[in-house]
Amino acid sequence: MKQLRRRSTLVATGAAAALLLIPAAVAFANGSGGSDTSLRALGSKQGLRIGTAVDAARLGGDKGYTDIVAGQFSTVTAENAMKWESVEPSRGVYDWTAADQLVRFARQHGQAVRGHTLMWHNQLPSWLTTGVANGSISDAQLRDILHRHVTDEVTHFKGKVWQWDVVNEVFANSWETPQADGLNADDFWIKHLGSGIVGDVFRWAHKADPKALLMYNDYNITGEDGTNAKFQAVYDFVRNLREQGVPIDGIGEQGHLDTQYGFDAQRYQADLQAFGDLGLKVAVTEADVRTFVDNPTDQVPTDSLAQYAQPYEFSELLKGCELVKQCISFTVWGVYDGDSWIPGTFGGEGYGLLYDVNLKPKTAYSTLQQDLRLAAGAPRHTNG
Ligand code: 9MR
């Protein structure tokens, strides 16, 4: 891995400072000047936004949680509030309440919003999946409905969303059936609308908000599963989209790790860089590092080495992003272990985030602080 370059001064140019969109008063709200050790302040020194997924319903009501979101992070992602089932629970009836609340919060706290997600096979409204399953919604109608959804949602948040995860998780994993182009033949959208829908959704999103950064978001796309096949499929597909003039701006590498599998940090960094060299921005969008724990309530690691492996792998994730100048944000998938998706999905596992079940910062938190501080001379990231 190449060394972090040291640089004596870190004065943002006028343009870069404007793009950062972090008012100085907010960026340094937790201390004075350079003594602010919040993740957001440390990240801002290299133009890198540090983010978290947020449960919009908890903002305001839960002070400990809210203070961490406001104080530590310079970008926020709606963990669920912008998904289709949340914004259009009944056909034709939008409910933007929770998502709007998050966007307002972000604005008040000088945070950029990552919009998540416009086309995904999960968390679709039941009126849609039922209609498709019983044949009352034909594929042609489904395409029109998706077009309207993408246009309406992006238009609703026009000028307020920094990056959109436009398309999520449509490539085949090693245990799924890939098409010749690498897409998952069984994905709900690919199955009904074909591969061409991917480019179309980017075009529709771009039309609705030409300034938003449009990302393709997925997991295991930087070699995490021990092969680089999924990376290669995404790389080839996206290069092809760019050649066709499809408005895709970047790749979201989710970054869900598990200490039991290990992690090839060099492969990860090289893959991020390869995307960057295609002229794309990259973002780490859903970082967490899970491990085996005693129970889902306390989430104490059962393997004594996990207390080292967990922060170590987090550190590797962050450093890879720091070393790739096209990497514009590093987002963790949730604030604390008490509200992570991990225990509900992986039996016996947890401890995946930066704060423990009692909202106390863990070693992983201080490790990231340290990584950000030591990287003060890393390349300045291009912030969009
Ligand atoms: O964290 C999200 C959890 O609250 C939801 O129940 C779940 C539904 O599938 O989705 C989780 O977030 C996912 C994200 O939207 C896309 N990448 C994988 C994430 C973890 O499953």
What is the rounded average pLDDT for all residues in the chain? 91
Number of domains in the chain: 1
254: Cβ below 6 Å to ligand 1? Answer: yes
For the question of residue 313 being annotated catalytic, the response is no
Which of the listed residues 86, 87, 122, 340 should we mutate to test ligand 1's pocket, taking the one with most ligand atoms within 8 A of CB? 122
- Give the closest residue (by CA) to ligand 1 atom 1: 341
Ligand 1 centroid to 153 CA: how many Å?
Answer: 19
Q: Give mean pLDDT, residues 104-127.
A: 98
80: Cβ below 6 Å to ligand 1? Answer: yes
Active-site hit among 79, 286, 322, 349: 286
Active-site hit among 79, 88, 169, 349: 169
Residue 161 lies in a domain: yes
Q: Are 323 and 335 in contact (CB under 8 A)?
A: no
Residue 36 lies in a domain: no
* pLDDT of 10 higher than 50: no
pLDDT in tens, 203-248: 999 999 999 999 999 999 999 999 999 999 999 999 999 999 999 9
Residue 2 lies in a domain: no
pLDDT in tens, 314-324: 999 999 999 99
Helix residue ranges, H only, the chain: 14-20, 24-27, 39-44, 63-72, 84-87, 97-108, 126-133, 139-156, 188-193, 196-208, 229-243, 265-277, 306-323, 342-345, 363-374
When comparing pLDDT for 134 and 6, which is higher? 134
Ligand 1 centroid to 178 CA: how many Å?
Answer: 22
For residue 300, CA distances in Å to 170, 307, 317 come to: 34, 9, 22
* pLDDT of 12 higher than 60: no
220: Cβ below 6 Å to ligand 1? Answer: no
Q: Give mean pLDDT, residues 188-198.
A: 98
The lowest-confidence range among 11-20, 50-59, 154-163, 264-273 is: 11-20
Confidence of residue 377 (pLDDT cuts 50, 70, 90): low
CATH number at residue 343: 3.20.20.80
**How high is the pLDDT of residue 60?**
84
Residue 307 lies in a domain: yes
* pLDDT of 34 higher than 80: no
Q: Give mean pLDDT, residues 321-333.
A: 97
Q: What percent of the chain has pLDDT over 90?
A: 86
- Give the closest residue (by CA) to ligand 1 atom 20: 341
Ligand 1, residue 122: give the atom nearest the CA. 9
Residue 201 lies in a domain: yes
Q: Give mean pLDDT, residues 285-308.
A: 96
* pLDDT of 24 higher than 70: no
Residue 271 structural domain: 45-375
Predicted model pTM: 0.91
* pLDDT of 173 higher than 50: yes
Residue 147 lies in a domain: yes
Q: Give mean pLDDT, residues 110-122.
A: 98
Residue 319 lies in a domain: yes
Ligand 1 centroid to 80 CA: how many Å?
Answer: 7
Residue 324 lies in a domain: yes
322: Cβ below 6 Å to ligand 1? Answer: no
